[in-house]
Amino acid sequence: MVHVGIGYDIHPLVEGRRLVLGGVEIPHPKGLEGHSDADALLHALTDAVLGAVGEVDIGHLFPNTDPTWKNAPSRVFLEEAARRVRARGGRIVNVDATVLAEQPKIFPHLAAMKAHIATALGIPVARVGVKATTNERLGFVGREEGIAAMAVATVDLPE
């Protein structure tokens, strides 16, 4: 039976942090603030996969109050979500995500992001969609105060 989950995440841009999106470090004067590496794209994907199998969200599994996850690579979270799918006898059919960022330009990094995500999930890169858009200079994204990501995951589970 096919199940679908959605995910969303947002982090503010701040000085003094690396910018990591989709597991890829992107050269930029600001990075995303958060307890882990604050990879909004991988966080949204993690919640999408967890949601597809009816699990709790990323914040419950990896709370920002737990020092274990301080500066942790978000790939760990995505790999755990995929492990939970497999533990239920399921398989991830595909994932798709959109990054909302005014700057930096995301397109040059999409192939590397997709490869990183595919490896973390254990699926072919052809089943990973990642797109980017701006907010047309509107709101916090348009003012370059933060970056957000939305994601959907399709998971096939036995009945």
CA-nearest of 28, 35, 24 to 58 is: 35
Q: Could you tell me the residue ranges of all domains in the chain?
A: 2-156
E strand or H helix that includes residue 156: strand 146-156
CB 134, CB 141: distance < 8 Å: yes
Q: Please enumerate in sequence order all residues whose Cβ is within 8 A of that of 6, keeping only pairs 6 or more positions apart, or say none.
A: 47, 48, 51, 150, 151, 152, 153
Residue 117: its pLDDT value, please? 98
Please state the rounded mean pLDDT for residues 18-30: 97
CATH homologous superfamily for the domain 2-156 = 2-C-methyl-D-erythritol 2,4-cyclodiphosphate synthase (3.30.1330.50)
Residue 81: its pLDDT value, please? 98
What is the end-to-end Cα distance of the chain in Å, rounded?
Answer: 6
Residue 159: pLDDT over 90: no
Per-residue pLDDT of 34-43, as tens digits, reads 999 999 999 9
CA distance 136 to 115: 28
- Percent of the chain scored above 70 by pLDDT? 100
Please state the rounded mean pLDDT for residues 125-149: 96
Structure tokens at 124: 């072919």
CA distance 31 to 11: 9
Per-residue pLDDT of 49-104, as tens digits, reads 999 999 999 999 999 899 999 989 999 999 999 999 999 999 999 999 999 999 99
